[in-house]
Amino acid sequence: MEIVYITSLVIFSYLLGSISTAIITCKLMDLPDPRSEGSENPGATNVHKIGGKKAAVITLFGDLLKGLVPVLIGQFLGADELTLSLIAMAAFLGHLYPIFFGFKGGKGVATAFGVILGISLPVAVAILIVWLSVYYLFKISSLGALSTALVTPLFFYYIDGSVIYTIMSGLLSAMLILRHKSNIEKLINGTED
């Protein structure tokens, strides 16, 4: 692929990732801004706390699609592993640091899952099983997210076998864990819900 096409795909992915499903959903449903209520995080878990299940499901799927769609477009256009990794990271970074919302975004769990789903269905299924298992046992969403972040690069390495995707998922996982700093502190203190 030519550098112009690659650059365009990366920019498109970042801009798509920058669209905050949580903020838009809450606005359309006359709910409080998720950046000023609850955990003040524009993500599905906080939207669930302030607006209920329907708003949370819309937010979850919107955030997932922000990661999935750019990767699928890249695949359709014949992008190689490195280009798909750049597209994936751009969509993820758009969610974390959205240009449309003052670079203050969510933690990236659903968008990361969308990216992974687009790149490797077997890895996506494996991490979904991990998340569901941890959530079933402990009923703490952030613990499920952190658990999946820790194992995702291993799954890419052992299930998919791609070194490039393993490195990309390692970077993605590290950023996701950093975004969960306050959750980690609450988990340690026993105050996370």
pLDDT tens string 7-40:
999 999 999 999 999 999 999 999 999 999 999 9
- A 10 A CB-CB count for 193 gives 10
Band of the pLDDT at 135, cuts 50, 70, 90? Answer: very high
* pLDDT for residue 193: 82
Structural domains counted in the chain: 1
Output the CA torsion 63→66→68→73 (10° steps). 170
What mean pLDDT value characterizes the chain?
A: 96
pTM across the whole model: 0.95
Dihedral-angle region of residue 46 (phi above 0 means left; psi in -120 to 50 means alpha; beta otherwise): alpha
Amino acid present at 94: G
Contact 120, 134 (CB under 8 A): no
- Report whether 60 contacts 110 (CB < 8 A): yes
3-state secondary structure of 128: helix
- What percentage of the chain exceeds 90 in pLDDT? 97
* Rounded CA separation 71/178 (Å): 24
Residue 1 pLDDT greater than 90, yes or no: no
| Enclosing domain of residue 115 | 3-189
